[in-house]
Amino acid sequence: MNRHRGMIVAALAFMAMPMLYAVLTFAARPVSEQPWLEPPLANTTCVLPRERMRYDHMRYLKSLRDQVMREGRREQVTGEHAQGIGSCKGCHAHRELFCDRCHERSSVRLDCFGCHAY
């Protein structure tokens, strides 16, 4: 009987731990931290290295736009990249878990998806 009581108490205490964890992590959350971004699909590499993509993706997209639209050159957007900004979806499936995270955190409004489907 005592053994059972001990196990029941242990089970109840164990059930209380996630709640405790939630409260403690909430209390200890850092103020500014890079938000969690959904990782890309495994075994894939991006068109640019990660750091370069981080600071340069806007300029890169603009340069691609000028190339493809104004000059009609599509050599950089072949195959799986043929859809422009929509191609990123192949590895970054959900913009809400990827693009929006940093953009909302930094209050930089995303104007792309009013026209471009993602």
Chain contacts with other proteins (rule: CB under 8 A): 1, 4-5, 7-8, 11-12, 14-15, 17-18, 21-23, 25-26, 29, 33, 35-36, 65, 68-74, 82-84, 86, 93-94, 96-97, 100-101, 104-105, 114-117
Nearer of residues 60 and 84 to other proteins, judged by Cβ:
84
Nearer of residues 52 and 94 to other proteins, judged by Cβ:
94
Least separation, in Å, of the C-beta of 29 and other proteins? 6
DSSP labels for the chain?
Answer: -HHHHHHHHHHHHHHHHHHHHHHHHHHT--SS-PPP-PPPPTT---SS-HHHHHHHHHHHHHHHHIIIIIS---TTS-GGGTTGGGGGGGTS--GGGTHHHHHHHTT----GGGTS--
Nearer of residues 47 and 86 to other proteins, judged by Cβ:
86
Least separation, in Å, of the C-beta of 60 and other proteins? 14
Least separation, in Å, of the C-beta of 72 and other proteins? 5
